[in-house]
A and B are shown apart, each in its own frame.
Chain A
């Protein structure tokens, strides 16, 4: 269970999250929607532990652990995974080296045995196949020269390899055509399980046709303004975010 209470967070001198409350029980998928600037991506970064975001008030606990006391790598080991809206390109770091280093770091931190190179190759190939990722792509430097769709699939590949218990998907649908969206959504749906919680951040309802959420929350000015079931997303699709924009920040 993820429990966020009265969360206030700022970047530079700007307060973005202004008392956000959210509970995501184990096994549920919650969608976070809302207009630009409402704090959706900030929430994702704060959950993953990006340093520039300063939490000034409130708490985040994940299965009883205080996430705010942990570094990003410790959060990853504790099961938190952020699928980035804009996956970073890292020249010179081979995708395979990166994946193996990440997976073995997390396994080590969780007290699991690290994979040998051949074992790991086999595991990666299996997961890559399900996501229709060409093994050749994994020989390239991380995300370098990947298309938008390939980058997002690579994020989902990492997600499935790292076996997280809390997945945060930040605008995973942005920049995807319908085919790529379907592959990504299928990948995410395969990972749904009773002991895995998910937060799906999206601007549009479209993604939620493929990843059907248990709950939908609308963010406005750094707070949850409204919550409902999957139908809330359909309603927003019709009405737009006008009522949630409020006075300009």
Chain B
């Protein structure tokens, strides 16, 4: 007897297909054959795998299929004015107050009138709305838009792995992206201030926002990029945000991503960084909001001599869940990668940090180290960390470490014995724990704003 093979979809999985059918013809670039093909291929990729679940190794600790009961419709941009005061409320005054060129993406749409477009262009930056670009897609952008996030290397000893499974979150981003920005610094361009890409969504009825940011730094240019994601106080937000950073030869970026959404939000983010020769990436991810957040980070060393430092901190409470999963691929020799991730977990929250470092056979003299650390403040908190090293070269230095523990009672006693009341002493130690990662941020105003945000989270103030 032949049993019919029937794919069972969860409600959310089916919802997502329905969302696509409903909006497909109205999405930006619908008239453009290349874009339409990218979208329909991506949807097919998504449909072939569905939402990730715990039996998918990379999603072992974040069972999205079971944690996402339904998918919200795509946000309908109203184009309404958004005041500075609203931005300040969404981001906190300190973060909104960081002196930077602003780029605002709200309700899934780039908002030039809220952004410093003229000032950026005067400084030589090239800036485009993603939605407009999709209408007449230049050939050179096609590979970036069609990016699938596939692993580039590591198949030499396992050729059977060459058939890669599509990443459904990236696939959904490709299929449904409505807006965002493309920022390019051409050789010789230089900005005197950071660029702050502010993403605001989740107003009114539950909705989904699917956006894309592409940042290309040509040879020798440098940029200080802050990306913040916040809520506008509605009844539910499902976000799918993808950021691609392409660093040319000797290009350098200081990149801080701040996740500040409300406690009901779902935040799915992909970051893909490609590193040219001698390129430098210094990144920080600060996760404070959202009930469920997942940050997929892929760093690809394509040119020799690149240096990458990725650091992060998650401050979670109640039943928040934050998963940061990285894949760092050393495809060429003489590159250095560092990861330091700190999670402070209270209530029944759960932190996940997974980092895989792949060193291709040619990538000799690779230097890769990673560390994931959690401070558990309650019995109900959980930290899962999984380092993975796949090394196919023989002359490399690679290491990984993980710790998970409670506040050290000896340290606490020392502070209390000096007259510091226990709650303050605890806060001081937590601040110090997070501070080790925050110290890696080179942009001082960002570092100070996040240090203050951490103190706010702890409910104390140290001046």
Complex interface residues of chain A between 77 and 93 (CB less than 8 A to chain B): 77, 81-82, 84, 87-88, 90-93
Closest residue of chain B to A47 (Cβ to Cβ) is B417
Q: Which residues of A contact B415 (CB under 8 A)?
A: 90, 98, 102
Contact, CB under 8 Å: B462 / A91? no
B375 → chain A closest CB, angstroms: 11
Taking the complex as formed, is A228 at the interface, i.e. its CB lies under 8 A from any CB of chain B?
A: no
Contact, CB under 8 Å: A162 / B413? no
Contact, CB under 8 Å: A98 / B413? no
B312 → chain A closest CB, angstroms: 16
Q: Which of A56-64, A68-76, A238-246 contacts B (4 or more CB under 8 A)?
A: A68-76
Q: Which residues of B contact A101 (CB under 8 A)?
A: 420, 424, 428, 462
Taking the complex as formed, is A106 at the interface, i.e. its CB lies under 8 A from any CB of chain B?
A: yes
Q: Which residues of A contact B140 (CB under 8 A)?
A: none
B418-449 interface code vs A (CB 8 A; 1 in, 0 out): 11111011001101111110010000000000
Q: Which residues of B contact A77 (CB under 8 A)?
A: 419
Closest residue of chain A to B410 (Cβ to Cβ) is A88
Q: Which residues of B contact A84 (CB under 8 A)?
A: 414, 417
Chain B: interface residue count, which band?
Answer: 20 to 34
Sorted from nearest, which 5 A-B pairs have the closest CB atoms?
A92-B432, A76-B419, A106-B419, A102-B418, A72-B416
Q: Which residues of B contact A158 (CB under 8 A)?
A: 418
Taking the complex as formed, is B77 at the interface, i.e. its CB lies under 8 A from any CB of chain A?
A: no
Taking the complex as formed, is A34 at the interface, i.e. its CB lies under 8 A from any CB of chain B?
A: no
Contact, CB under 8 Å: A51 / B409? yes
Taking the complex as formed, is B463 at the interface, i.e. its CB lies under 8 A from any CB of chain A?
A: yes
Question: Which one of B410, B422, B436 lies within 8 Å of A73 (CB-CB)?
Answer: B422
B259 → chain A closest CB, angstroms: 22
Taking the complex as formed, is A139 at the interface, i.e. its CB lies under 8 A from any CB of chain B?
A: no
B287-312 interface code vs A (CB 8 A; 1 in, 0 out): 00000000000000000000000000
Taking the complex as formed, is A109 at the interface, i.e. its CB lies under 8 A from any CB of chain B?
A: yes
Closest residue of chain B to A75 (Cβ to Cβ) is B417
Contact, CB under 8 Å: B428 / A93? yes
B455 → chain A closest CB, angstroms: 11
Contact, CB under 8 Å: A117 / B421? no
Taking the complex as formed, is A125 at the interface, i.e. its CB lies under 8 A from any CB of chain B?
A: no
Taking the complex as formed, is B119 at the interface, i.e. its CB lies under 8 A from any CB of chain A?
A: no
Task: Tell me the complex Cα distance, A51–B413, Å.
Answer: 8
Q: What is the interface of chain B mostly: helix, strand, loop, or mixed?
A: helix
Contact, CB under 8 Å: B414 / A91? no
Contact, CB under 8 Å: B417 / A48? yes
Task: Tell me the complex Cα distance, A6–B410, Å.
Answer: 27
Contact, CB under 8 Å: B418 / A162? yes
Known: A92-B436, A105-B420. 12 other contacts (CB 8 A): A48-B413, A48-B417, A72-B416, A75-B417, A76-B417, A82-B417, A88-B410, A90-B411, A90-B415, A91-B436, A97-B428, A98-B415
Chain A contacts to B: CB under 8 angstroms? 48-52, 71-73, 75-77, 81-82, 84, 87-88, 90-93, 97-98, 100-103, 105-106, 109, 117, 141, 158, 162
Contact, CB under 8 Å: A97 / B462? yes
Chain B contacts to A: CB under 8 angstroms? 409-411, 413-422, 424-425, 428-429, 431-436, 439, 462-463
Task: Tell me the complex Cα distance, A76–B428, Å.
Answer: 18
Q: Which residues of A contact B429 (CB under 8 A)?
A: 90, 93
Q: Which residues of B contact A52 (CB under 8 A)?
A: 409
Task: Tell me the complex Cα distance, A49–B414, Å.
Answer: 11
Provide 14 A-B residue pairs closer than 8 Å at the C-beta atoms, listed in order of the A residue: A48-B413, A76-B417, A76-B419, A77-B419, A84-B417, A90-B429, A91-B432, A93-B432, A100-B463, A101-B428, A102-B418, A105-B421, A105-B424, A106-B418
Q: Which residues of A contact B463 (CB under 8 A)?
A: 100, 117
Q: Which residues of B contact A73 (CB under 8 A)?
A: 416-422, 425
Q: Which residues of A contact B424 (CB under 8 A)?
A: 101, 105
Task: Tell me the complex Cα distance, A109–B452, Å.
Answer: 25
Q: Which residues of B contact A92 (CB under 8 A)?
A: 431-436, 439
Contact, CB under 8 Å: A76 / B418? yes
Q: Which residues of B contact A105 (CB under 8 A)?
A: 418-421, 424
B215 → chain A closest CB, angstroms: 31
Contact, CB under 8 Å: A88 / B433? no
Q: Which residues of A contact B409 (CB under 8 A)?
A: 51-52
A178 → chain B closest CB, angstroms: 27
A93 → chain B closest CB, angstroms: 4
Q: Which residues of A contact B413 (CB under 8 A)?
A: 48, 50-51, 72
Q: Which residues of B contact A162 (CB under 8 A)?
A: 418-419
Question: Which one of A71, A87, A91, A103 lies within 8 Å of B422 (CB-CB)?
Answer: A71
> A90-B432, A91-B432, A98-B428 are known contacts. Are A72 and B417 too (CB-CB below 8 A)?
yes
Closest residue of chain A to B434 (Cβ to Cβ) is A92
Task: Tell me the complex Cα distance, A127–B414, Å.
Answer: 21
Contact, CB under 8 Å: A49 / B417? yes
Task: Tell me the complex Cα distance, A48–B410, Å.
Answer: 13
Q: Which residues of A contact B420 (CB under 8 A)?
A: 73, 101-102, 105
